[in-house]
Structure 1
Amino acid sequence: MAPPDPNRHATDRVLLAIALRLLSVALFAFMNVGIKLAEARGASLAEIMFWRQFGATLLVGGLVAAGPGIASLKTERFGAHVLRTVLGLAAMALTFTTLTMLPLAEATTIGFSMPIFATVLGALVLHEPTGMRRWAAVLAGFIGVLIVAQPGGEAFPLAGALTGLAAAAGTATVSILLRTIGRTEAPLTTVFWFSCLSLLPLGCAYPFAVKAHAPLVWAILLGIGVIGGAAQIAMTRSLTLGPVSTVVPMDYTALLWATLLGWLVFDRLPAAATWVGAPVIVASGLYIVWREHVRRREETRQAIAQGIA
């Protein structure tokens, strides 16, 4: 009997990571459709956010109870989870607001500027080395955003572009915080505490925001939570199975879903400027991810060399 091939196991993990990332992108796309449908049928932002986190808490809590158990949720970094919740809720509110103001494809494209902000924040906050090539990619990405947003154009609401950029910056801030939390906390633990802690402020606001809705709207609101929670788990799990440089580029398939669902559900195709600016933003983000991979590989190689020396 032939011994197991370790390379085959590593390949299987990467393929699973890619599959989970693609699944999370598709689920988030359907969640975004639900957000737009719920808002169009009278649901407020506070209601949508409450149900997003309530459904996710039910899902994650069930998975924890059926899997590692409640004891796995013990944490010694409660303060970090609180900060992640505050920043995460702010980013979520901005993201959902952008979705209600812009077509799906445009809102998704603006969100692709997140790696650009992550690079800037990584250089300013974490003092990560950032060479001229990555700064050039950042500049190109912002040019792509300007092409899509068409400042001064009447077809694209300026407020939507601003909230979208603020949401991307907020998400980038959260991603940097998650780098530190992820060193000691399991992915499911992080998702649970974010979902659970979010319900405290959202639960206080909910009684003042809740309205009477048709059964379909309640079903959409619950679906937003369950689908969003499943997407978040799949996204987080993908990062534990595969390298960031491999799984993160899968996020750009979101534009395909946004275009398809925007056409099928809302009868809306991206504007001409989006077709021009989106490739610029995507290329910028992919280059930044690739350069980050190269940088970390060089750091690992140097560390090994120093250890041998």
Structure 2
Amino acid sequence: MAARDTSLSRAIGLRLLSVALFATMNVLIKLAEARGAALGEILFWRQFGAALLVGAIVGAGPGFASLRTQRFGAHVLRCVIGLTAMSLTFWTLLLLPLAEATTLGFSMPIFATVLGALVLHEPTGWRRWAAVLAGFAGVLIVTQPGDGHIPALGIATGLGAAFCTACISILLRTIGKTESGLTTVFWFSTLSLVPLSIAYVGVMQPHAPVVWALLLGIGLLGGAAQIAMTRSLQLGEVSLVVPMDYTALLWATIFGWAVFGMLPVVSTWAGAPVIVASGLYIVWREHRRRREETRGAIAQN
């Protein structure tokens, strides 16, 4: 029991660490862009730094032979969707304040529920559909369509990023059956460098030393956060660790005020709790469904 408690505590700690690292990375992204870095440069350095970090860990640990895969096509598809999600996420960060961009990202579980029902034909009762509707109502409260306080393009990129991230979560359910977390992260980072290198050639430019430091920091922080996030899922169930992601709004609010002198607007304060509550309920219902399926399988045997 003590060993299990330790494992669960490590899972929660790693997830909280990954959220803090991603939040810090988001600050560096906005600072780098404000100092002249293009989106294509930021994306390249994000993946380049992650590839270096993951490669070093694999080389010092299980070795590169452990990265062999029989699911290369699935990794390519994950790379395409992942790059789209990352591009939209970073674009949203450049268009919106940190708190609003982060809040829109919380709609991911809502899209994941819809996709799970439509694509994987997962049983979805009226309670989860009600949570989905409540979540979308929270999005409407935050964005206030037609009000103009949040740019329409920022809303579109934020929701598009959440949708693509939900698609990744569906895809990873199948990849994760045969591939380790480090293998998945490694192939995503390295495969994405092919198109990003081509794009980087077209946008690369000289920068002050502080900008190069910011770009390198984006890559290393992103890689470390991705590894911590992946490891947390290996040590604890999704229902245990995913709720920790909502601490991102706390970090976004603190950084937004301390670094950029901005606090969330009233509509964000009103809508964010609705979106968070919807996401937490969806995660809880998914945990109950899987537990009931496990019990049913055991009873049949």
TM-score of the pair, normalised by structure 1: 0.97
Aligned residue in 1 for 2:223: 229
- Matches of 1:218 and 1:237, distance apart in 2: 29
Q: Match of 1:101, as an amino acid?
A: L
> Is residue 296 from structure 1 mapped to residue 290 from structure 2 by the alignment?
yes
Aligned residue in 2 for 1:174: 168
Q: How far does the alpha carbon of each residue in 1:196-251 deviate from its partner, in whole angstroms, 9 at most, with x for none?
A: 00000001111111011111011100100000000000001100000110000000
Residue from 116, 119, 136 that aligns with 2:113: 119
Aligned residue in 1 for 2:100: 106
Q: CA deviation at 1:291?
A: 0.2
Aligned residue in 2 for 1:157: 151
Q: How far does the alpha carbon of each residue in 1:49-87 deviate from its partner, in whole angstroms, 9 at most, with x for none?
A: 000000000000000001111111111111110000000
> Is residue 51 from structure 1 mapped to residue 83 from structure 2 by the alignment?
no
Q: CA deviation at 1:154?
A: 2.2
Aligned residue in 2 for 1:75: 69
- Matches of 1:79 and 1:128, distance apart in 2: 24
Q: How far does the alpha carbon of each residue in 1:265-308 deviate from its partner, in whole angstroms, 9 at most, with x for none?
A: 0000000100000000000000000000000000001111111x
Q: CA RMSD in A?
A: 0.5
Residue from 116, 122, 128 that aligns with 2:122: 128
- Matches of 2:98 and 2:182, distance apart in 1: 29
Q: CA deviation at 1:190?
A: 0.6
- Matches of 1:187 and 1:35, distance apart in 2: 25
- Matches of 1:254 and 1:219, distance apart in 2: 24
Q: Which runs of 5+ in 1 are unaligned?
A: 1-6
Q: CA deviation at 1:39?
A: 1.0
Q: Match of 2:263, as an amino acid?
A: L
- Matches of 2:145 and 2:297, distance apart in 1: 46
Q: Match of 1:96, as an amino acid?
A: F
Q: How far does the alpha carbon of each residue in 1:159-188 deviate from its partner, in whole angstroms, 9 at most, with x for none?
A: 101110000000000011011111111111
Q: Which runs of 5+ in 2 are unaligned?
A: none
Q: Match of 1:28, as an amino acid?
A: F
> Is residue 19 from structure 1 mapped to residue 9 from structure 2 by the alignment?
no
Residue from 247, 253, 272 that aligns with 1:253: 247
Aligned length: 301
Q: Match of 1:166, as an amino acid?
A: G
Kindly report structure 1 stretches of 4+ aligned residues shifted beyond 6 Å: none
> Is residue 9 from structure 1 mapped to residue 3 from structure 2 by the alignment?
yes
